[in-house]
Amino acid sequence: MAAGEGRAVLVTGASRGIGRAIARAFAGRGDRVAVHWGSSRERAEQVLAELPGEGHVLVQADMADAGAVGAMVDRAAEHLGRLDVLVNNAGVFTAHPPLSTSYEEWQSAWSRTLATNLVGAANATFRAVPHLIAAGGGAVVNVSSRGAFRGEPDNPAYGASKAGLNAFAQSMALALAPHGISVTCVAPGFVQTEMAREVLDGPGGDAVRAQSPFGRVARPEEVASAVLWLASPEARFSSGTVVDVNGASYLRS
């Protein structure tokens, strides 16, 4: 990478919320970003239009489709000319309380959640590794969740998928360190996104905010800042780390 040249970064699930903030954060420091989208091209185009700098690109794939994910990663690297950073942010969150969900709904929730949140991230990482090695090393940052540690009683597949993502990241941290690639996770709690607006603006919003001694939930930009640091060369020796961004709403030993 030439002096002054920005990195090439692929952010999955970048069409809204945390992913959008992450894409903006990288672009803001001069990096070129591949904005991945799954189902809303219109939102992704809006994100692309608001990114500062040049050289950004849209890439699409259903994260539950292994073939599509592999092609999407290769396409991002081709358009950007290389790949220095992969951010596995894309995910789904489907309520399926065990005592009030049919067996068919239960199976569907588990299948879709694990295929997207865990296997999709694993496939994207696998496909990104040759590009990262070719670039001389880099970083993979996974967006996990505090739900991996505290449990998700109404969304057990989500909690399990994020716990699996943490374990996957640590395994890959060991495997890829000899190639100069760090693999880490950031684990947010509740975040002020479009998806969370119904809960935060509803009757239970105050209770959610009260979970943190700060009396609020995280801003997407705060999660993006953690991702930006974990992806930096200065954080390379923190490979295998899971960084909590939950406002002390859940503390783990």
- Beta carbons within 10 angstroms of residue 17's beta carbon: 19
- The Cα 223–Cα 60 span in angstroms is 23
- The Cα 224–Cα 232 span in angstroms is 12
- Partners of residue 183 on adjacent β-strands: 140
Intra-chain end-to-end CA distance of the chain, in Å = 39
- The Cα 160–Cα 158 span in angstroms is 5
DSSP 13: T
Identify the helix (H) or strand (E) that includes residue 32: strand 32-37
- The Cα 44–Cα 22 span in angstroms is 13
Catalytic annotation present for 158:
yes
- The Cα 178–Cα 5 span in angstroms is 25
From the list 26, 37, 149, 158, the catalytic residue is: 158
Q: Could you list the active site residues?
A: 158
